[in-house]
Amino acid sequence: MASPSPLVLVFGPYNGDGLAELERRFTVRHQKSRTLEGLSEAERAEVKAVAVAGHLPNETMDALPALEIVGHFGVGYDGVDAAHAAERGVAVTNTPDVLTEEVADTAVALVLMTVRELHHAESHARSGEWERSGPYPLTRFSLRNKEVGIMGLGRIGLAIAHRLEAFGVKIRYHNRSERSDVAYPYDASLEALAEQSDILLIAAPGGPATEKAVNADVLAALGNEGILINIGRGTTVDEPALIEALEQGTIAAAGLDVFADEPRIPERLRALRNTVLLPHVASASRDTRILMGNLVADNLSRWFAGERLETPVPESEKAGLTRRQG
């Protein structure tokens, strides 16, 4: 008799294609709300894997005694305490690479929209204002002779840099440490990067190490001709400081795909004309989300087959949680 498939708990809202793929491979229980209410003690004791897009509280992990692995739908996994999971012997995976190109495409689009005010120009045409009052005004900025500073030159940051090079802009970057495989100038601090850049582009992961790294001092260093672009994590930017900088003209404009308390965006930020605000859509094409969902499922399949995980997070790698034992 074939052994029953492992019970996978899908915790909270989850991509439909990804859910269907999990259901094809495993026994799935979907808790659409981010609680364990309605899940009996017996069912909790059977859960061996969790698939989640976003936040998984430690108390939820701790309430699942048989939990072995968490598959996070997304490259940024700051909503999962991977160090806590490792202490419990629980592996954590994420979905890098498969969304790199899509996010990089969106980042370039966000740069162009913000620099050339394309969202306002589109509204000018759509509303009939072009016919009533004439052409849209000349934009204050273009990409000509600009220098883009990238915070976070990882997979996504590097893909963005390669795209932006085609526009003739200069690239520089700031990381936790300097890379030996790129020729771009390196700045040892984020404030130094901002000071040297016309456009400061955030592609860094979230978490305590980057929380509010883009603060009032960094924004002041960027200056009143500077533009901030964020496609990383909203927590990386001190949002009240950003709003004040935009209102007072400390910086010229901002293009944001991520926010500190999604989906809530402060009214003061929404009211500003010198912003482009996107609802966290950088990887939000169905093609890419299918690949992400498949990667979550592939990692779980590998784990239960006793094979090495395809994309364990560093905390799991360090703890030796890359393959199921026994």
Domain 7-96+286-318 = CATH 3.40.50.720 = yes
Q: Which residues of 248-275 are buried (b: 16+ CB within 10 A; e: fewer)?
A: eebbbbbbbbbbbeeeebeeebeeeebb
**Does the annotation count 233 as an active-site position?**
yes
> What CATH class does 100-277 carry?
alpha beta
Q: Which residues are within 8 A (CB) of 320 and not within 5 positions of it... i.e. 6 or more apart?
A: none
Distance, CA of 224 to CA of 59 (rounded, Å): 45
DSSP state, residue 180: S
Catalytic residue among 30, 280, 323, 324: 280
Domains of the chain, residue spans = 7-96+286-318, 100-277
- Kindly give, in sequence order, each residue whose CB lies less than 8 Å from that of residue 96, ignoring residues fewer than 6 positions away: 75, 155, 311
Q: Give the torsion sign (CA, 242, 247, 249, 250).
A: negative
Q: Known catalytic residue: 280? A: yes
Does the predicted model carry a pTM greater than 0.85? yes
Q: Which of 72, 172, 233, 289 is catalytic?
A: 233
Q: What is the DSSP string of 52-100?
A: ESS-B-HHHHHT-TT--EEEESSS--TTB-HHHHHHTT-EEE---STTH
Instruction: Count other Cβ atoms within 10 Å, centred on residue 139.
Output: 12
Run of H or E residues at 121: helix 118-126
Predicted confidence pLDDT, tens digits, the chain (326 residues): 344 689 999 999 999 999 999 999 999 999 999 999 989 999 999 999 999 999 999 999 999 999 999 999 999 999 999 999 999 999 999 999 999 999 999 999 999 999 999 999 999 999 999 999 999 999 999 999 999 999 999 999 999 999 999 999 999 999 999 999 999 999 999 999 999 999 999 999 888 999 999 999 999 999 999 999 999 999 999 999 999 999 999 999 999 999 999 999 999 999 999 999 999 999 999 999 999 999 999 999 999 999 999 999 999 999 999 999 87
Q: Which of 262, 268, 286, 308 is catalytic?
A: 262
